[in-house]
Every structure is written in C-alpha cells, then in structure tokens.
Structure 1
C-alpha cells in the first residue's frame, strides 16, 4: 500500500513486491527492513507471518515486523517466520503487559515502539488504531510511559507528513527528541536524499525511514545511500557481491 496521511492506496501484492523489488538486492542499500501490516479491518497475523517469511528470504539485514500483534503468541509467530524485531503501536497503550511479556522472553532489543502523531493547533498529539483514536496523554507523557515498558527503539511517525514527500517534521522532532533515551527512528515525509540527510543529522536521531523512495523511484535508495556516504554521514558501506 502507498499511504498519504494514513489514507491507503493499493499498489500491488506480495507477488508484485517480489517481482519488482528483490530484497536480496535492495538490502545492500538498507540497514534494516520494516514491514508493517496496514490492513484497516482485521489484521490476520497468520497470513502476515507468511508474507514476512517470503520477504526475508535470503535478506541479510535485520527485519522488524508489526501490525496486528495482540498476544505473545502473535509475536512468537513473527519471530518464527524470520522477524528479528517486532513492532507494537496501539497495544503499548491498550495492552502494556504485552510489551513486558515480549521483553521478558526476547529482550528489549527485540521490541520497537511505533508512535503515530499529528499536529492539532500546533501541538503534537498521539493517535492509535491506525490514526483513528486520539489519546488524551501529552506526547511527553506517552513517550515516558512506553520507555518505562522497556522498549528497545522508538519509531516516531508523522501522520501529517506521511506520504507527502515534503520532508520530515523537523520542528517537532527537534522539540521532543531529547525526551527519548533509546534509539530513535523518524518516519513520514522523506521524498529525496536531502530529506534523509536533514533527518539523520538531527540531535538524538539514530535512523531515518522511507517508503516513497523505495516504492516509486527505481534506484532511489542506492543513490540516496551513496549520496549520504559522500556527505560523510556515518553509514555502513555494504559490499554488493554482484558488482
């Protein structure tokens, strides 16, 4: 799916993904692959785990998968099918004990928190349930709450910037990144390599995520990584054996 402000448009299925984007090849441009089940109604964890299993075939980079995890058994299934980490969003608020169960079994490094927010009267406001339910907690209260659960990383995703290609929400990230004491990944809005550079150079930001460059701009990711390395951004230099 292609998402813009959390409104979805279908672009293909798993067969389309494998045909157009061979992850064994594209992984040389990535440090990690994030796979999210964005289904708006029921999220079938069994079907999703099968998709993850197919996507990770021969991919040497870490894979984080999430969407629809509602029990430890759901997380187990994703781990058994190739995920290195699992991602929780709504359950961090609705089922905080689930985060504790996953961490107890797999460790903090195995759990990533995804936090969706948008600006309401310039105030960053947390939303869960695919962006449909607003929380009354302030963003600082919520970030403190989920870090107390012991999550290993946080993905901060701007609903306003999602899919726009206009760049990350630099102002908000700059204001709140100091509240986060674990590795921070920012998502939502990257449309070119300069946006990636702007994001990764922010204080307290550990990584930047993009979907648009991957989905719609042929060799955008390899060129973006090469550009960032040439700009002296601290990225690993993977050796592509096919070159």
Structure 2
C-alpha cells in the first residue's frame, strides 16, 4: 500500500510569498520572512513534499524564481515540485535543473499537450503534476485555468477522464471555492473522480487544522493532502498535525526527528 502524504504549498509572486483566498492574493513576506518563520531544515520532517507555485499575475521574473527554487531546495530535505505558467520544455527544464523533482502544469493541459509529451520524454511522466483548479458553478464542478480566470466549460469528471491518457504522474486537485478559507476540504470533489481513475490524487484548498487532513486521508481515493495556509501552520503547526495523524495510525512516512534536530543545529 502506498503511504499517504502531507504536502506544503508555497505561493510565490516575484520574490514574495502570498496568502490566497479564493485565488485573491495577499503578500505575507519575502524569502527572509519565510526563512525566519519556517525553518525548512526542521519542518521538512513534518511534510513529505514541498510545492512552489509561481502565481504572479503580471510580468514574471523567471530567473529569480529559479534561484529561489534552488535556495529552497538547498534548505529542504524533501522532494520539491515547482510550476506556474510553464508553456514550454525549456521552462520545465530550468525548474528541474534548479532542484525541483517535478514540475506542476495547469493551463498547458488546455493549450499544448505536445509540450507535456516533450517533458515526459526527457524527464519521465513521474516528473509531471497536473494541477486542476475547480469551481462549483450552477451545481456543477467545472475546471478553470489561467490562475482560475478562464472557464474551460468542462466538468471535473470529464477533465480527469481526458487527461488520464496523458503522460502525467499525479493530479493536484484544488478547490477555488475553499481556497484559503480554513473551512476544510471540498470533499465533494472526491466524488467526481472517475471510478477507474488510476493517477494518485492530491487534494488541496481549505485546510485549516489537522482534523481536515484526517478526514480526507481516510478516503482511499486520496493519496495526499496539501495546504498553502502559511499562517495557520506557522511555528510547530505542521509538526503537531503530522504527529496527530501518526497517532491515528495513518500510513505516513515516519521521519527521525532526532536527525531533524541534529540537522537544525548544524545549519
């Protein structure tokens, strides 16, 4: 049986890290703030992966993003997935050469499947995470792209059926309606997953406390949970949440916290 995973997501905007609520962004702090409030050499033992998404709405400084991905990779001892407006193979290549283990794609699913095939040929399909942003519109869960601004007029179920034949490693399923609310995951999204869907599913959008993780990870159709809530899990919030899940006998990777302390003291 595959182990469940807890994933922390960072939302990045030209050197700053953001809070998001229903995809409306608010600046929290820069890299110095992040390093001060989140000691990644330590909390890396409270999470299984780190996702870094460039959500910049205006002109992007891609080179700075690559540099910051590399800096976080140097401090964090877990796999990293990174993405945001990937439109071609070279952008994916630069992220993977900057220390990311996977790239996260979203709008590319609607615009250019050929680029996805190119990335998979060079780096393998396990290196690709398909991010899917979902809104509930008139009683139907529909897929949106371009930072949640363009309605693809396709149901979530149909979208998942369409992408299953693509060379993709896993799916990051994000509820725009619950994004940043702390009210818990939109568990109805799980019911939209086709019965025979074979890709691992990461559920995101809405986590505010450990019980939200517990509720979703108990479902066999969900392989991982993700949160981008920088403030709710500041300090030892992630560590406590992970320990609560382990106390409930969830099948999570078990990290040696003694080693974590030793590493923290060395850095």
Q: TM-score w.r.t. structure 1 length?
A: 0.95
| Alignment pair present for 1:25 and 2:36 | no
CA shift, 1:43, in A, is 3.1
Higher relative contact order (CA 8 A, sep 6+): 2
List 4+ stretches of structure 1 deviating above 6 A.
Answer: none
Find the aligned partners of 1:58 and 1:168 in 2 and give their Cα distance. Answer: 29
Find the aligned partners of 2:160 and 2:119 in 1 and give their Cα distance. Answer: 19
Q: Deviations over 1:12-45 (max 9, x none)?
A: 1122112221211110001000111111123332
The 1:99/1:148 distance shift into structure 2, 3 A limit, reads: same
Where in structure 2 are the equivalents of 1:97-112 lying within 5 Å?
A: 97-112=114-129
Which residues of structure 1 form unaligned runs of 5+?
Answer: none
| Alignment pair present for 1:212 and 2:222 | no
Find the aligned partners of 2:29 and 2:119 in 1 and give their Cα distance. Answer: 32
Find the aligned partners of 2:178 and 2:248 in 1 and give their Cα distance. Answer: 25
Count, aligned residues: 243
**Secondary structure of 1:113's partner?**
strand
1:156 maps to what in 2? 173
1:37 maps to what in 2? 54
CA shift, 1:212, in A, is 1.6
Which residues of structure 2 form unaligned runs of 5+?
Answer: 1-17, 263-267
Find the aligned partners of 2:105 and 2:44 in 1 and give their Cα distance. Answer: 23
The 1:155/1:214 distance shift into structure 2, 3 A limit, reads: farther
CA shift, 1:96, in A, is 1.2
Find the aligned partners of 1:13 and 1:113 in 2 and give their Cα distance. Answer: 27
Stretch moving more, 26-35 or 166-175: 166-175
**Secondary structure of 1:127's partner?**
strand
| Alignment pair present for 1:195 and 2:193 | no
Find the aligned partners of 2:231 and 2:242 in 1 and give their Cα distance. Answer: 12
1:222 maps to what in 2? 239
Q: TM-score w.r.t. structure 2 length?
A: 0.87
- Greater share of strand residues, 1 or 2? 2
2:21 maps to what in 1? 4
- Greater share of helix residues, 1 or 2? 1
| Alignment pair present for 1:125 and 2:142 | yes
Find the aligned partners of 1:178 and 1:226 in 2 and give their Cα distance. Answer: 31
Where in structure 2 are the equivalents of 1:46-195 lying within 5 Å?
A: 46-176=63-193, 178=195, 180-195=197-212
